[in-house]
Amino acid sequence: MTGSLGSTDQDNAIIWCMRLSEGALTAAEQQDLRDWLAGDAARQEQLDLALAVWTGLEADADAPELLGLRREALGAMHRAERRRWMRGAVLPAGWRALAAVVALVAVALATMVWQRHGGTSYRTGIGERRVIALADGSRLSLDADSAVSVAFSDQRRDLTLERGRARFKVAKNPLRPFAVHIGDDVVVATGTEFSVERLAGEMRVALFEGRVAVLHDGRYGPVAALTRRDGAIVAAERALAPGSELRMPFGKTIGGIAPIGLNDGMEEGQMSFTAEALGVAAERMNRYAGAHRIAVAPDVAALRISGVFNAGDSDAFAQAIAATFPVRVTRDGDTLRMVAP
């Protein structure tokens, strides 16, 4: 593919958008993309807007004012002669029509996103969840009582998880790394879906699709986080496969890998725990706590619990734990205290 494939920058932004959506670029294609972006500073914004339409931004793409445009764009896409531009031919008329439609949708979408989510800091309250369309086309799903700050540039996409948990569906762009910072650790992806959670004593990275690198800010610069697998210590990036989760204690360089829970409250309003430490389970439940929050004494915090609970029903959670484990529950105003009997 060459920069002269499309007749306008808008055409080329659409073509690069479709190419990125179909998989990893070759080294030569990455260089072509770098060259094209370097030709005009506005091209990165055009590519971001195109990606925003085609990376599954369900929260805004289903808005009534966009449905007609989206249907028209999808129809144009299916009618386009894709093989011609993949062979380097002149951009077909169908693709020019698609470019115009996508550009219109992208402008409308970008306007909606920035009107609703202006600024670079996103937060949720207790029991609240949000889905946010980011300017590059990525999607951010914020769990309850969570906060993320965003700082994008032409070269990087940097985010910081300040508290709680966030799930990311990353728009593919190998030239702009997508990095999520948690204290001295950073999770880097180019195009994937994962979540990052900040707990009182550890960081958790769950991978749903693709691949991520987990780095730690060591004494001599960033180093790969490590984990144990099959009796050996390996880089977490090699061990973390889709469907698994890295659990890394803060201040440590070696973590562990565990399967992702079937349901942890981010989707269905229920919290599912499998051999989870009571202290961690209570911390997660507190993100949805309404009238009562849970405090766990250190002498019972390491108890391993399993079960499914309604998110936000702290009383039922405390009663179930007290009926099953050597734990006593006391009330102190709006706080449920879980202590040894």
Asked whether residue 193 carries a pLDDT value surpassing 90, the answer given is yes
Closest CA relative to residue 307, chosen from 256, 245, 265: 265
What does the pLDDT read at residue 268? Answer: 65
pLDDT band at 161 (very low <50, low <70, confident <90, very high): very high
Asked whether residue 217 carries a pLDDT value surpassing 60, the answer given is yes
Q: How does pLDDT run across 238-277, given as a tens digit for each residue?
A: 889 999 999 999 888 889 998 886 555 455 678 889 899 9
* Dist CA 206 CA 259 (whole Å): 9
Asked whether residue 100 carries a pLDDT value surpassing 70, the answer given is no
- Residue 130, strand partner residues: 142
Closest CA relative to residue 230, chosen from 241, 242, 220, 239: 239
DSSP 176-232: S-EEEEETTEEEEESS-EEEEEE-SSEEEEEEEES--EEEEEETTEEEE-EEEETTE
Least confident of 57-61, 153-157, 259-263, 318-322: 57-61
Fill in the DSSP letter of residue 197.
E
Helix H or strand E encompassing 66: helix 64-79
174 and 190 Cβ atoms separated by less than 8 Å = yes
Give CA angle at 71 (112, 67), nearest 5°.
Answer: 35
133 and 57 Cβ atoms separated by less than 8 Å = yes
Least confident of 97-106, 127-136, 195-204, 290-299: 97-106
What does the pLDDT read at residue 111? Answer: 41
pLDDT band at 87 (very low <50, low <70, confident <90, very high): very low
Please list, in sequence order, all residues whose beta carbon lies within 8 angstroms of the beta carbon of residue 32, skipping any fewer than 6 positions away. 1, 2, 3
Mean pLDDT, range 155-169, rounded to an integer = 93
> At 46, which amino acid appears?
Q
Mean pLDDT, range 188-193, rounded to an integer = 83
300 and 282 Cβ atoms separated by less than 8 Å = no
Give alpha helix (H) positions in 225-334: 236-239, 278-286, 314-324
Q: Cα dihedral sign for 105, 111, 114, 117?
A: negative
Least confident of 79-83, 173-177, 194-198: 79-83
How far are the Cα atoms of 74, 94, 223 from residue 220, in angstroms, in the given order? Answer: 50, 53, 8
182 and 199 Cβ atoms separated by less than 8 Å = no
Give CA angle at 246 (241, 250), nearest 5°.
Answer: 155
Three-state SS letters, 240-251: CCCCEEEEEECC
151 and 120 Cβ atoms separated by less than 8 Å = yes
What does the pLDDT read at residue 299? Answer: 95
DSSP 74-127: HHHHHHS-HHHHHTTPPPPHHHHHHHHHHHHHHHHHHHHHHHHS-SSEEE--TT
What does the pLDDT read at residue 35? Answer: 86
Record the tokens describing residue 181, joined without a space: 């910072």
How far are the Cα atoms of 4, 32, 71, 269, 309 from residue 172, in angstroms, in the given order? Answer: 22, 16, 23, 30, 36
What is this structure's pTM? Answer: 0.68
If one compares 337 and 76, the residue with the highest pLDDT of the two is 337
| Residues above pLDDT 70, as percent of the chain | 72
What does the pLDDT read at residue 287? Answer: 93
Closest CA relative to residue 176, chosen from 154, 193, 194: 154
What does the pLDDT read at residue 53? Answer: 53
